[in-house]
A and B are shown apart, each in its own frame.
Chain A
Amino acid sequence: MSEIIVVENLVKKFKDVIAVNDVSFVVNRGEIFGLLGPNGAGKTTTIHVIATLLKPTSGRVLVDGINVSEKPQLVRKKIGIVFQDPSLDNQLTAYDNMYIHGKLYGIEKRVLERKINELFELVELSEFKNKQVRYFSGGMRRRLEIARSLLHEPELLILDEPTIGLDPQSRNKVWEYLRKVRREYDMTILLTTHYMDEAEELAGRIAIMDHGRIVAMGSSEELKSMLGRDLILLRFTGNPETLCNKLSFAKDCKLTSDGRMEVLVENASRSIPEIFDVANNNGIKILEINYRRPTLNDVFLHLTGRELRDHLEEAVPPPPRRGFRW
């Protein structure tokens, strides 16, 4: 079986909020799969369902062929997870955090000690292993969490926003470890992120999520080619509707929120003179023009829009279903 995760028509509702709305995707063994999306898109909810922390409202999720709602215990053994918010025990030492994790996963003591030291080497924390975690910096905590999630040699490593809030040095380190881990342990990695560079840097395939749905899926090259080859940005005076309507060669044409116009074309060098012609013929004056290859960022903004996502995120605990809360 080449698929390690199969998600079919997953729906997750919190009371009347639909966090994940009919999502389907497949992650193949050995790949790095990225869920990319703005805050509140439903990425975390999706991976929480995969990690057996939430029960799906409907739909089916299989990890290595096992249904997560039917046999969560079996699934838990196969996955290692690094949560978005730290889940370390700050009052304990780095070593104790690893040790307790190993014990919870039933690793034999002799093997456990060797593995812990090995992983401390990997994430370069050996000299801090007997220090309490509360003195660790954000980057060190993240590295420790990654080491911890690898301790029981999971087949699938799930990372929720692995580099959120880290400085560029720590981000690079984390990326380096993840690539190394995938190579050396032949592990499948599922990660969520809202950083384009991270998705581009790490993920072989990317699914872009927004409003609880997957809006596009493919390699970063495939996603970029969705937009055509070149992206022309224009500033002008006059009616934008007219201009867009006349640009018959454009693959897409739309007004951005800062008053500029985005035109997607096959070949910018050839299209720019044509745009000038159209503008002249319609009494439109072009004030500024430039073009570039579309980045993943452009794809992302193109698909998810530019408005801010200020609604409540799924991380905010929804009201309890029963009982009372103060």
Chain B
Amino acid sequence: MSREINAFTAIIYRQLKRWISSRSRVVSIIIQPFLWLFFIGVGFGSVFSGNTPVQFDNIPIPINSTQIIQTYFNKLFGGVDYVTFIVSGLVVTTAFIGSFISGISVIWDKQFGFLKESLVAPASRKIIILGRIVGDSIVNTIQALLVVAVALPFANGLKLENIPIGLLYIFITALAFTGLGTALSLKFSSMEGFQMIVNLLTMPLMFLSGVFYPLAQMPEWMQSASKLNPLTYSVHGVRYWLAGANVGFEYMNWHLDLAIITVFAIVLLAVAAEMFEKATIED
């Protein structure tokens, strides 16, 4: 038993050490949400805030259009301003994309041999792959935390006291998608192929998760797709805690969110572990 724990922590240690030694990876993962934040968040944020002067020439009664528009949008975004709304979601997508991409390190290890080293080790393979997924999930949760930290000056509606519980949701989400990325990459031998699948999957999952706009405003068919997207629940849950905004479908609440992402994570971890157990160098 102690040997299994040793192996587990050794692999977590490895993933963390690798992360620390590759600064470019850290930077690129954090820059991406900032591009979103600035180009979409700040851009749309000012549109949605109601501060943009809109002239209603043909309305005879003098009304305060700014206030009305602001109230409207705040109601739309769950009572918070758009920047807070989007930051609380981008935190999740940062972890989501980061996790998905961590799978690529399996391909990397396939090409550079470390995979063989872990395949001949006497430690249980399930433990090794779980250690790997947990290690990468810790990395991605830390990255999400960094995004929160850097976004604080822009998003004034964030609830600092709820960050730990938000991170818990993010960690579980990271476990799930690292599991998925790992399982996929065990089947791929080229980076290009994996990269393609990642691009193919991340964009729709991200846009259907309600990070950028409230789900209730989407067309019927998109709503149905969103309901099947596990990321939707993660975004809803994290936003509920971090921004205090309940923006989603009526049936959603933070218990349900937690339950769904946990089940999803367990299933994917089991799949990844099973696949690694059977892995030979032939795959």
User: Which residues of chain A have a CB within 8 Å of any CB of chain B?
Assistant: 14, 48, 51-55, 73-74, 76-77, 79, 81, 83, 85-92, 96, 99-101, 103-106, 132, 317-318, 320-321, 323-326
Q: Flag if A76 contacts B14 (CB, 8 Å).
A: no
Contact among B7, B112, B282 for A317, CB-based, below 8 A: B282
Q: Flag if A105 contacts B122 (CB, 8 Å).
A: yes
Q: A54-B280, A55-B280, A106-B2 are in contact. Are A91 and B7 (CB under 8 A)?
A: no
Q: Flag if B7 contacts A106 (CB, 8 Å).
A: yes
Q: Flag if A87 contacts B114 (CB, 8 Å).
A: yes
Q: Flag if A92 contacts B282 (CB, 8 Å).
A: no
Interface-located stretch among B159-167, B190-198, B230-238: B190-198
Known: A89-B114, A90-B112, A103-B13. 9 other contacts (CB 8 A): A53-B116, A73-B122, A73-B124, A76-B120, A92-B18, A100-B13, A104-B7, A105-B121, A106-B6
B69 in contact (CB, < 8 A)? no
User: Which residues of chain B have a CB within 8 Å of any CB of chain A?
Assistant: 2-3, 6-7, 9-11, 13-14, 17-18, 21-22, 112-124, 128, 187-190, 192-194, 196-197, 280-283
Q: Flag if A326 contacts B188 (CB, 8 Å).
A: yes
Main SS at interface, chain B: helix
Complex Cα–Cα for A80 and B81 (A)? 60
Complex Cα–Cα for A323 and B192 (A)? 16
Q: A317-B189, A320-B187 are in contact. Are A54 and B121 (CB under 8 A)?
A: no
Q: Flag if A53 contacts B10 (CB, 8 Å).
A: no
A325 / chain B contacts, CB cutoff of 8 Å:
187-190, 193
B21 / chain A contacts, CB cutoff of 8 Å:
91-92, 132
Q: Can you report 20 residue pairs joining A to B where beta carbons are below 8 Å apart?
A: A53-B281, A54-B280, A77-B122, A83-B116, A87-B117, A89-B18, A89-B114, A91-B22, A96-B13, A101-B117, A103-B6, A104-B118, A104-B123, A105-B123, A106-B3, A106-B7, A317-B283, A326-B192, A326-B193, A326-B194
Q: Flag if A320 contacts B2 (CB, 8 Å).
A: no
A324 / chain B contacts, CB cutoff of 8 Å:
187
Contact among A48, A74, A85, A106 for B113, CB-based, below 8 A: A85
Closest B residue to A102 by CB, please name it.
Answer: B10
